[in-house]
Amino acid sequence: MSDIAENTISRKPIAVTLLGLIICGGLLAMPGLAGPPNSEAVSDTVRFIGRFHPVILHLPIGILTLVILLEIGAIFSKNSNTSTKIPMFFAAATSVIAVLAGFLLYQGETEGTPTEVLTNHLWGGIAFSCVVIVGFIIKAWTDAGASAAWLYRAMLLIGVGVMTYASHGGATLVHGADYLSKYAPPALKPLFGGEAVAAVVEKPAAEKTVYDDVVAPILEEKCWKCHNADKIKGKFRMDTYELLLKGGKEGKDLIPSDADNSLIIVRSLLPIDDDERMPPDEKPGLTADELMIVKWWINAGASPDQKLAVANPPADIAAAITRRAPVAKQHNPGEAQANAAKEADAAKAKTDGRDKIQLAVAEVQKSFPGAVQFESQDSNGLTFTAVSMRGKFSDEDMAKVTPVIASLVSADLSASLISDKSLALLTGATGLKNLRVSETKITDAGIDSIVKMASLESLNVYATEITDAGLQKIATLKGLKKLYVWRSKVTPAGIEEFKKKLPTCVVETGT
């Protein structure tokens, strides 16, 4: 009888052991067999399933915590007969499901070479699942009569360590590397991956630069979380000036001297429900002050080292910089009051009549929610974008924008159904500086309306029916600084003739 019992004890967990080890082997081999991630080749179904990873991963974490609490209770309760094998099974099973969902997320969302943090998180999750599976196997043997309770509990502790490591990597990817360290007491910052806090030395006002001391802090707060060394969304990093200028998979996200066509501005202005809007998912975007500051910096040439004092920002920009983060302390109370009064007067002059414009904006918003907004809180200028509507926006829709046309400083009608008829309506926008009508039906006839927009500084007629004849008409816009004409019917000879007439305008031909 003793031999039969011994054989039963030794054979009973064998199937569990073999199946568990096969699963572990499959998880470990999975990244190599699948190859590098290629988001462009992944189906929407894979992406859909993968996005359940953040939900599922809490199951094995919670169940493993329960197992540990039960084991601790068993240690202090000599008469406890409670087995943790069943909850340990579910911890192992859900950990495998979480890893598989995470791997699908990794394949569907990763663009280009995965970062070190992302790769480490992937392997941390696989290691955690394998540790839990091995822990379940040991528990199965223990309940079958093997003396391995100490080893089982050791595996639980190892599982907690691996889980902590993997979870930290996940938090870094979602919230940024400084998520735990940012508000930690100075003495504890190094323990959570932060840097020891050095004594803060206020930089003299004369040494402050526009980029380092004004623009970079804005981008760090609103953009770096998704565009840094650990998370390179859209193959675009913004945490250094060189990489910001380099751009991402969509091309040049920052075009010096041309804020209206820089994607970091264009996408910041999109409606909050637009998939192209940045930052995504209704996260707080650039404030009116921040948007005004960044646009001013770009239009001024986007210099990486220009001193703030040399840049001599206009009164409204200086006021915005001061509101966000005072550049220098005023030591003369009288001077401070005088400067504040000047700024207030300048702001008031720019916003007189705003109430009437707000009524017009509200009227247009009824038809096109989020499409029209003020250029800044210190300006009556309006921006209008039909990008989110694209092929659904026509000449009839443009007529509904009439109440705000007189106040427009920027209009983006790209990829819409508008024709030359809509351009005739825009002649009422006497302060229009930026116009994008790329990929529309406009022709040379519409240029007759465009040349009446004397304030135009940037014009995009990419992929339209514009010919050399229309191009020569555009040359009469003496204030034009940027022109985008590639994939139109304009010829190289026509462009050369245009440059002779308007040498101060930069012509982008896509080559």
Q: What gap in Å lies between CA 183 and CA 190, rounded to an integer? A: 12
Give the pairing of strands 372-374 and 458-460. unpaired
| Residue 56 burial by Cβ neighbours in a 10 Å radius (0-12, 13-18, 19+) | middle
Q: What gap in Å lies between CA 485 and CA 222, rounded to an integer? A: 32
Q: What gap in Å lies between CA 409 and CA 259, rounded to an integer? A: 13
Residue (of 89, 116, 92, 103) closest to 53 by Cα position = 103
For residue 413, what are the contacts with CB-CB under 8 A and spacing of at least 6?
386, 393, 398, 422, 435, 436, 437, 440
For residue 69, what are the contacts with CB-CB under 8 A and spacing of at least 6?
none
Residue (of 372, 427, 433) closest to 397 by Cα position = 372
| Residue 310 burial by Cβ neighbours in a 10 Å radius (0-12, 13-18, 19+) | exposed
The pLDDT score that the predictor gives to residue 329 is: 39
Structure tokens at 480: 């034009």
Assess contact for 462 and 490: CB atoms under 8 A.
Answer: no
Strand partners, 373: 383
CB count, 10 Å around CB of 369? 12
Run of H or E including 351: helix 333-351
The owner of tokens 């302060």 is 431
Burial 281-308 (b: 16+ CB within 10 A, else e): eeeebbbebbbbbbbbbbbbebbbeeeb
Amino acid at 414: S
The pLDDT score that the predictor gives to residue 86 is: 92
The owner of tokens 């528990």 is 139
Helix (H, G, I), strand (E, B) or coil at 18: helix
Name the DSSP letter for residue 114. P
| Residue 125 burial by Cβ neighbours in a 10 Å radius (0-12, 13-18, 19+) | buried
Q: Which long-range contacts (CB under 8 A, 24 or more apart) does 91-94 make?
A: 91/60, 91/63, 91/64, 91/67, 91/132, 91/136, 92/20, 92/60, 92/129, 92/132, 92/133, 92/135, 92/136, 94/56, 94/59, 94/60, 94/63
Structure tokens at 411: 């209009």
Q: Cis before residue 284, ω within 30 degrees of 0?
A: no
The pLDDT score that the predictor gives to residue 206 is: 52
Ordered per-residue pLDDT tens for the chain, 511 residues: 334 334 433 456 898 899 999 999 999 999 888 877 776 677 878 888 888 888 898 999 999 999 999 888 888 776 566 688 899 999 999 999 999 988 888 887 766 555 677 788 889 899 999 999 999 999 999 888 888 888 988 999 998 899 888 887 777 766 666 666 666 666 665 655 555 444 444 555 556 777 788 888 887 776 766 655 555 555 556 667 777 777 666 666 778 888 788 777 777 777 666 666 666 665 667 788 888 888 888 888 878 777 877 777 788 888 877 777 543 333 344 444 445 445 545 554 444 567 888 888 888 888 888 888 887 766 788 889 887 787 889 999 999 999 999 999 999 998 899 999 999 999 999 899 999 998 899 999 999 999 999 999 999 998 899 999 999 999 999 999 989 888 889 999 999 999 999 988 988 876 5
Q: What gap in Å lies between CA 452 and CA 283, rounded to an integer? A: 39
